[in-house]
């Protein structure tokens, strides 16, 4: 029994913090784990900036509501969900992803949670589990699923390599060169065919 696990940012939607930095006009929020590898430190720094700008969850969601999924992403996901169970696995936060999930037809999403005060201020965040993507596919395998996984980045390699079939999608030249054994695709129809073939 197959289940498809998909990365979200870079595969179905733009990088949320980058898009948010542009939509909100706060360019320093473009800083990513490439600039600050310590994720906790980076997130606490981001939350500080949001607070400085007086942005609570509602204001942030209003900005994120202006961001659209990547062109063709909704159609791809609809088609994929017509023949496979699909779980989106992301390191982002449920509340940030929510406006984008609406636009994708409310697929199942496993990610992390922001801690929000009654006033709407974001006071902290809770990561669900270590190595969430790899841990999730392993858990699914432990209950009888064969997993098929796809993503674009370093944090996707664990679930891609641990799965029955795994694909890079719109990844970087560096990752594609470092992992030549992982099939890499750029177009949604290529990825759809590869997933279909893996299920045969
Ligand atoms: Mg990604």
pLDDT digits (tens, 9 = 90+) for 99-137: 999 999 999 999 999 999 999 999 999 999 999 999 999
Share the mean pLDDT of the chain: 94
Q: Which DSSP symbol is given to 99? A: H
pLDDT at 5: 98
Give me the percent of the chain exceeding a pLDDT of 90.
Answer: 86
Between CA 168 and CA 156 the distance in angstroms is: 8
Q: Tell me, in angstroms, the distance from the centre of ligand 1 to residue 14's CA.
A: 9
pLDDT at 189: 98
Rounded to the nearest 10 degrees, what angle do helices 94-103 and 16-24 cross at?
Answer: 90
Q: Tell me, in angstroms, the distance from the centre of ligand 1 to residue 118's CA.
A: 31
Between CA 106 and CA 100 the distance in angstroms is: 9
Q: Tell me, in angstroms, the distance from the centre of ligand 1 to residue 39's CA.
A: 15
Average pLDDT over residues 74-92: 97
Residue 95, C-beta contacts closer than 8 angstroms, at least 6 positions apart: 57, 61, 113, 114, 116
pLDDT at 71: 98
Q: Tell me, in angstroms, the distance from the centre of ligand 1 to residue 89's CA.
A: 10
Q: How far is CA 125 from CA 41, 52, 53, 59, 115, in A?
A: 12, 17, 18, 17, 5
Active site residue 40: no
Q: How confident is the model at residue 45 (pLDDT cuts 50, 70, 90)?
A: very high
Q: How confident is the model at residue 157 (pLDDT cuts 50, 70, 90)?
A: very high
pLDDT digits (tens, 9 = 90+) for 47-64: 999 999 999 999 889 989
Average pLDDT over residues 9-25: 92
User: Which of 7, 91, 152, 156 is flagged as catalytic?
Assistant: 7
User: What is the distance in angstroms between the CA of the first residue and the CA of the last residue of the chain?
Assistant: 11
pLDDT at 95: 94
Between CA 87 and CA 161 the distance in angstroms is: 17
Verdict on whether the full-model pTM lies above 0.85: yes
Q: How far is CA 178 from CA 28, 35, 42, 173, 174, in A?
A: 30, 21, 27, 8, 6
Q: Tell me, in angstroms, the distance from the centre of ligand 1 to residue 112's CA.
A: 15
Between CA 78 and CA 61 the distance in angstroms is: 24
- Reference 7, options 187, 132, 128, 130; nearest CA is 132
Residues 61/99, Cβ–Cβ less than 8 Å: yes
Active site residue 7: yes
């Amino acid at each position: 029994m197959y289940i498809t696990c998909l990365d979200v940012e870079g595969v179905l939607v733009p990088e949320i913090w980058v898009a948010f930095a542009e939509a909100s006009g706060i360019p320093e929020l473009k800083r990513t784990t490439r600039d600050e590898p310590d994720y906790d430190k980076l997130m606490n720094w981001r939350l500080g900036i949001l607070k400085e700008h007086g942005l609570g969850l509602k204001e942030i969601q209003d900005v994120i509501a202006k961001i659209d999924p990547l062109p063709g992403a909704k159609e791809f996901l609809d088609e994929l969900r017509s023949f496979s169970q699909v779980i989106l696995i992301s390191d982002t936060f449920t509340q940030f992803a929510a406006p984008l999930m609406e636009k994708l037809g409310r697929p199942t999403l496993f990610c992390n949670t922001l801690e929000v005060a009654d006033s709407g201020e974001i006071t902290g965040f809770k990561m669900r589990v270590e190595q969430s993507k790899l841990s999730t596919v392993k858990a699914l395998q432990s209950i009888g699923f064969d997993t098929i996984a796809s993503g674009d980045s370093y944090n996707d390699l664990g679930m891609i390599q641990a799965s029955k079939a795994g694909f890079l999608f719109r990844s970087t030249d560096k990752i594609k060169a470092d992992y030549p054994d992982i099939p890499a695709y750029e177009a949604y129809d290529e990825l759809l065919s590869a997933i279909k073939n893996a299920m045969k």
